[in-house]
């Protein structure tokens, strides 16, 4: 899927609490000792990572709803990195979930999302 950088920027404008560490805010970033503004700036420079995450998620089988067994975004970041052989930021994956309107549930006091994709998706099934 070819997503324009302009669409990425528009998404970031709509989600001011999105940063490279995920869906967060300055308070949540303080706990692990992160600087929210620096993390936001890092995500703004992660268009290529966002594009890879969109491509990967489009290969997954979406669900209509998030379930208790739905995968958590920080685990999916590792799978995307393995698939492409290149690390991606957690925020780039979260941005892709939001952009593609995949069902999700934001975990309280956490930058993570439960993501409504099937665990039987081709990109998640072990060979």
Residue 106 DSSP one-character state: E
Hey, what are 89's tokens? 């930021």
Residue 45 CB contacts under 8 Å (≥ 6 apart), including other chains: none
What are the pLDDT digits (tens) for 101-127? Answer: 999 998 887 888 999 999 888 888 765
pLDDT of 79 strictly over 90: yes
pLDDT of 37 strictly over 90: no
**Domain extent listing, the chain:** 5-115
What is the per-residue pLDDT for 1?
60
Answer for the pair 64, 47: CB distance below 8 angstroms, yes or no: no
What is the model's pTM? Answer: 0.91
What is the per-residue pLDDT for 125?
75
Percent residues over pLDDT 90 in the chain: 63
């Amino acid at each position: 899927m070819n997503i324009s950088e302009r669409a990425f920027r528009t998404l970031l404008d709509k989600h001011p609490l999105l940063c490279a560490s995920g869906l967060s805010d300055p308070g949540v970033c303080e706990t692990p000792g992160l600087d929210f503004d620096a993390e936001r700036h890092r995500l703004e420079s992660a268009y290529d990572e966002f594009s890879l995450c969109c491509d990967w998620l489009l290969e997954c089988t979406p669900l209509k709803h998030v379930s208790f067994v739905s995968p958590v975004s920080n685990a999916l970041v590792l799978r995307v990195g393995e698939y492409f052989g290149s690390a991606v930021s957690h925020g780039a994956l979260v941005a892709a979930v939001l952009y593609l309107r995949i069902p999700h549930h934001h975990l309280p006091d956490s930058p993570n999302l439960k993501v409504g994709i099937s665990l039987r998706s081709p990109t998640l099934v072990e060979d």
